Homo-oligomer: A and B are copies of this chain.
Amino acid sequence: MTTWLDVPADHPFGVTNLPYGVFSIDGSAPRVGTRIGDHVLDLGPCAEKAGMESYAVWSAPTLNPFLALGRHAWSSAREWVTELLTNPARRDCVEPHLVPVESATMHLPFDVADYVDFYASEHHATNVGRLFRPDSEPLTPNWKHLPIGYHGRAGTVVVSGTAITRPSGQRKPPTEESPVFGASARLDIEAELGFVVGGATSLGSPVPVADADDHLFGVVLLNDWSARDLQAWEYVPLGPFLGKSFATSISPWVVTMEALRAARVPLPGQTDPRPLPYLQGEDTADGAGTAYGLDITYEVEWNGTVVSRPPYRSMYWSPTQMVAHMTVNGATLRSGDLFGSGTISGPDKDQRGSFLELSWGGREPVTLDDGSQRTFLEDGDTVVLRATAPGPGGTTISLGECRGTIGPAVHPQA
C-alpha cells in the first residue's frame, strides 16, 4: 500500500500506521488529527469537505466521542482515511489540511475515565517481589491465576512533555524510628503500554476474552512515574497511592489495535497453572489466539542513553485477558478508560523497565553515556520511552514517544 504523499515507504508513520491524536496550532481549538509522515492531517475539516458528516466527532477536543462509536465505526474510519491517502484523486481533499508536525502542539488525546494499572510482567513482578519483600516468595500465590491490577488516579494522567514535579510525602528510611517528610529520594519510572478503551458497557455485563477487541481501541506508551520511598511506606495493606498519583505520562498518538494486527504473537505460556476458563483464549487463524501477546520493541532512554530494551512479547497476560478480568465482576467499561500493562521487564538485566530493577534497589548504579552514574532520577533528568512494532504488509510502525523531565520538589520540607 503506497500513499500519493511524499512519504517514504519505510517511514514509521507511514500509511499503515495512522494513529489518532489531539492537536492545536498557535492556540487554536484542539481537535483530532492523524499523523502521516511528518505531517498531521486535520481530520474534521477534511471529512467535512468530503461530506462525511459522521466524522463530526473529529472536531471535538478529545477522542472520547470517536471512542464512543465503537469497533465498526473505527474500522470504517480507518478504511476511509486510508483511501484518502492512497487515492491520488483525493489530493484536493487532503492537502489543505496537512500541518507540519513541528508546528502542532499535542494535547492529552482523551479524557481519562477510569485508569487501571496491571502488573502483567512475570520478570518485573519477580524482581519487585525480591526487592520489596525479600523474606517471601517473590510472586504472590495469586499472580499466575489472575492479572493483578488496581485503580490509579485518572486526573493526573498527562501528555508527553508535561513537566514532572518531584513529589514530596512521607517515607520511612530503615534508619529512622518514625516516618519523615520530604521530597522523594527514590523517584523512578515504569515503562508500560497503555490500552485505550472505547464502547461503553452496562453494569453486570462481563466482556469475554474473545469480545475484548470490540473495546480495545488502541495503545499509547505510558510512564507510571513512581516514588519508591513513598510507595514502600504507604502500600500495605491497600496498595500504592501517593507513590504513583502525582503523575502518569502518556504518548500523544494512539496507535490503533488494527494497525497492530501484524504484531500479535502467542503469549509466552500459561500452562502451569492454566488460568480459569473465563481467562482462557481461543485459537485464531493467525496463531496468536484471542489471548494474544504483542511483539512490540521498546526502549528506555535516560538523558540520551538507551538504558533498557524491554520486550513486550515477554508479558505474561494479554490485554484481552485484562479486559475480561476487569469486567468479570460486572464492572462497566467507559469510553476513555485507560489501563496500563504494568512495567515491561524481560528476563535480561538490560530489559528491565524500571530503574528500581535496573539499579537493583539502588545498589548497582547505571552508567550513562556521559559517564555520570544514576540509581534513581535526579532533578533535570529526562526520560524518553519509544517503541516500534511490525505493521501491516511488512512495514515497521512507530508508537511515537513519551517524554518527561523532572523538576525540583515544590516544598521539600514541611
Interface, chain A (partner B; CB < 8 A): 113-114, 116, 119, 129, 132-133, 140-142, 145-146, 148-156, 158, 162, 165, 167-170, 172, 178-181, 203-206, 227, 230, 233-243, 245-247, 273, 276-278, 325-326, 328-334, 337, 410-411, 414
The quantity of this chain's copies bound in the complex is: 2
**A118 vs B165: C-alpha distance in the bound complex, in angstroms?**
25
Q: Are A234 and B410 in contact (CB-based, < 8 A)?
A: no
Question: Residue of B at shortest CB range from A111?
Answer: B113
Given the known inter-chain contacts A238-B239, A411-B206, please indicate yes or no for A179 contacting B276, CB distance below 8 A.
yes
Residue in A155, A167, A273 with the greatest tally of chain B CB atoms within 10 Å: A155
Q: Is A330 in contact with B410, judged by CB distance below 8 angstroms?
A: yes
Chain B residue numbers with a CB within 8 Å of A179 are 142, 145-146, 276
**A178 and B329 form a contact (CB under 8 A):** no
A236 / chain B contacts, CB cutoff of 8 Å: 140, 142, 237
Residue of B nearest to A232 (CB): B142
Q: Given B227, B329, B410, which contacts A168 in the complex, CB threshold below 8 Å?
A: B329
A329 and B278 contact, Cβ closer than 8 Å, known pairs A140-B236, A154-B114: no
Contact status of A237 and B133, CB under 8 A, knowing A204-B410, A329-B169: yes
For the complex with contacts A119-B238, A167-B329, 8 further pairs of A-B residues with Cβ separation under 8 Å are: A116-B241, A142-B170, A142-B236, A146-B234, A155-B337, A170-B276, A235-B237, A242-B328
